Amino acid sequence: MSRMTRSWERSLLFSIFVAAFIFSFLLICTSIECASASEPQIDVTPREVKIFFDSERASEAFYPAEDTITITNNGENTTVMSISHDSKIILSCPDTFSLDPKKPKVITIKAPYDAHDGSYYLEIKAGGVKVETVTVKIIYCAKIKVNLSSVDFGEVPSKKSEVTKTIEISEEYGYKTLDDVTITPARGNENNWVTPSRERDITVSKVSHAYVTFTLRPGPPNYNRRDNKYRWMFIIKSRSRNVEPITIEVEARIMRPPKLGELKDKELEIKFDKPKETVLEYYKHIDIRVRNEGDEPLYFRKIDYPNSLGGGIRVEIDPPDKVLDSRNIEVYITVPYYAPEGTYRGKLHIYAEDKDGNPAGDEYVDITIKIIWPVDFTISSTSPYFTPSPPSIDFGSLALKERGYEKKSVKITLTERYGYKPVRNLRFSESGEYGEWLHEELDFSEIPPGESRSFILKIEPGLEAVPKSYSWKYDIRASEISRKRIEVKANIVPMNIPEMMEYLESFRESILYRRYPSSEAIISNGVGMLEVVERSDIGAEDWKKIPVLMKGTLSLLSSLNDGLISSEGENYGKAVENLVSASVSASTIESNSELNNWDIYGYAREISAGADRTTEEVLMDEAKKLELRGWNIKKAVEHAMAMGDISGLKEEENVLESALSYQYAAIIYGLLDNKEKRLECSYEESLLMDKHDELVSDATDLRIKAEGNISISKENDLVRIGDLYLLVNPYKFDTFSANFGSAKANFEDAGSKYKVAGELLMSENTKADLNELRGEWSRILSMFFLACILYCAAFIYTINRIIMGTMAYMMDMHEREVGDIVVTTTVAF
């Protein structure tokens, strides 16, 4: 129970504490709000301002404060403001004014020049209640004034021991006196050669001035300094407040006595630059720089030098009177042209003094003279490819030949120009693309003084060359001679331009040129284009077309001319073949005539136009000629066959020739893109070929029949003995004559048909077979007649033998009968 009571008490106390805190907070807020509503809130800044009197007294009527005063009403109501102040303080606003809320009032303050220094107060009230006090401080300033901004002692001779300059010091504004002015040297002064006569406790005012003397006592000369100009800085200041210190500069040019500076040894290289014996002597000089390290004039007492250095070399000197800073001593060297090459040495001894004759130093100068004999060579050539100045070689166009590109060479002469030394260790080098195309042929290793030697420079392009312009830097080097460069150029042309030009111009003597004057446009433009190509720089893209274009042009002219020649020689197949080739060449020309180089573009287009025009003229004339020839032959054959007598036909008057003429005409009309005439001629050709095939078929059948008759007769009527066929049976003569006669008639008819058809070879073969048949016929008949004679002789011989036998028999029988009679008679007897 007691524990619960204590807990309740603590809760009650905490509640009372919270309620009391809230009541107090509300009471404070209410009080502040009431106070804000009842009292004005004024803010004044700054609370202190200063007025500096920092110009000459009475030069200005008033001096303004360095800051302005800003009064701000932070309340909610307009408040009446009032400012109380000393009469020496002047405000930019009335002493009483109304100040609206949130609108600051800016007030400037100033004081007259006769106001005393010290503090003045501004009492600011709002609604009669003092809210702020502002302090205004008037401060007197002072300024130190010196009559000279700098002290210049000017040029101080070296023998002057002391010089002085006086300055005047005063106060400029006039408001107060300075009694603690000091003069002290600034930090960084090089030395203490300058001292002031007074250094501290100097009193100055507007009307009371102080005089201070600066004394310069030069120390020993410093020859290591770049110049003789010295400067010292002194600070004039006061310990009083608001006094700016000033700095005064003291300067002087302290002359140093003359002193001969260190001399440098001299070397002179004399290179003879004229051919030997064209000049007798060479004149040179050496400038020996003499430096006076002092500032006062330096004089030469004497100069010792050798008159000759050997080798005929002479020395002369023309020294100056005096030296102020630095000057050259001219040493003149005279060298005869025959002086040997080498190094010569001598020594000069120079003695110096000042204007009073006191020594100012002496120095030695070693002189070295180096004589160099010249050596050089000139480059010359009589070749038209060579240009002397600057040395260059232009091989022009190198055309493609049958076995590679054209090769050219130049004979170059090197001449030693001075006559003193030989040219030794000659070296040749080339730089540029395919430099290995250039190579030289020489048979010497050095050039004697003043003499000449020649070598051959050749260019031999390889097959890797592409059509373009090539250039090389061809360098010739030798000992002691700078590089000599020859610019070499060549234009690789994938065709033989001179040969092509000659070939083109040769067509002016051709049958084509005589019969077709339009071909002149092709020839003249082709020649003109080649001339431009030979001297121009042609791009790689054009080089791909130009050779094809020109070869096409030559092929066109050649094909057209050969076609006309073949046509006149009645070799129409060859003529048509050439005309087809010409048409292809014309197309090639057209497709390669679009060039990028405007110098040759017009020529190419004119060649193409001329090629089209001339080709069309020739093709049209030849097509008409062939068509007419085919018609004439056809009509001649038809007439001969109608008459039944082909003996009057010429050799070329046959069906095949007529068909070929129409075929050739159709081909040419096709090239001319004349479809109607091409179809017409092709139709005639087909009809004639059908007739040709019919005649050949009939003739072949007749030959077969003739050969059949011969075979039958040989099998049935003749007897074969070895390779001979003989008619031995007279009873077979009639069938043999009939078969061989039929064979001869068939061969004759077949030969005629072959001839009309135009198969001249078959006609000749048939004629040969006919002649062979006739020969065999004659041989068989001859052998038959001989056999008949033999038959008769045998018959006669047989008859004779029969008769002789019969007679012998009869005689024998008669004798036998006679003998019988005799015997009988004898017996009888």
Distances (CA, A) of 474 to 429, 459, 484: 6, 12, 8
- Sign of CA pseudo-dihedral 232, 142, 119, 81: negative
Q: d(Cα 241, Cα 236) in Å, to the nearest integer?
A: 14
In the block, tokens 């009645």 appear at 570
| Tens digits of residue pLDDT in 397-435 | 787 777 778 889 999 999 999 999 999 999 999 999 888
Q: Which contiguous run of DSSP H or E holds residue 765? A: helix 760-828
- State which H helix or E strand residue 153 sits in: strand 150-156
- Predicted local distance difference test score (pLDDT) of residue 488: 94
Q: Give CA angle at 120 (118, 126), nearest 5°.
A: 165
Residue 21: predicted pLDDT: 64
The SS3 call for residue 16 is helix
Cross-strand pairs, 134: 122
User: Kindly report the CA angle at 688 between 687 and 689, in degrees rounded to 5?
Assistant: 90
Q: Is the peptide bond before 340 cis (omega within 30 degrees of 0)?
A: no
Q: Which residues of the chain have pLDDT under 70?
A: 1-40, 647, 712-715, 717-734, 736-737, 739, 747, 751-752, 756-757, 760, 763-764, 766, 769-770, 773, 775-778, 780-784, 787, 791, 820-829
Per-residue confidence (pLDDT) for residue 411, from 0 to 100 = 94
CA 96, CA 769: separation in Å to the nearest integer?
Answer: 165
Per-residue tokens: 258: 């003359």
Residue 410: predicted pLDDT: 94
Distance, in Å, from the CA atom of 209 to the CA atom of 633, rounded to the nearest integer, reads 149
DSSP-H helix ranges across 159-248: none
For 707-761, the pLDDT digits (tens) are: 777 776 666 766 666 666 665 566 666 676 676 777 777 767 776 677 766 776 7
H/E stretch holding 14 reads helix 2-38
Distance CA 713, CA 784 (A): 15
224 burial via Cβ count (<10 Å: 0-12, 13-18, 19+): exposed
Q: Which tokens in the block code for residue 229?
A: 């100009």
In degrees, to the nearest 5, what angle opens at C-alpha 336 toward C-alphas 330 and 338? 150
What pLDDT, on the 0 to 100 scale, is given for residue 130?
A: 86
- Maximum alpha-carbon separation in the chain: 253
* Cα(575)–Cα(569) distance, integer angstroms: 9
SS3 181: strand
Angle at alpha carbon of residue 629, lines to 624 and 631, rounded to 5°: 95
Helix axes 655-671, 598-643, angle to 10 degrees: 160
SS3 string of 462-518? CCCCCCCEEEEEEEEEECCEEEEEEEEEEEEECCCHHHHHHHHHHHHHCHHHHHCCC
Provide the 8-state DSSP code for 260.
Answer: B
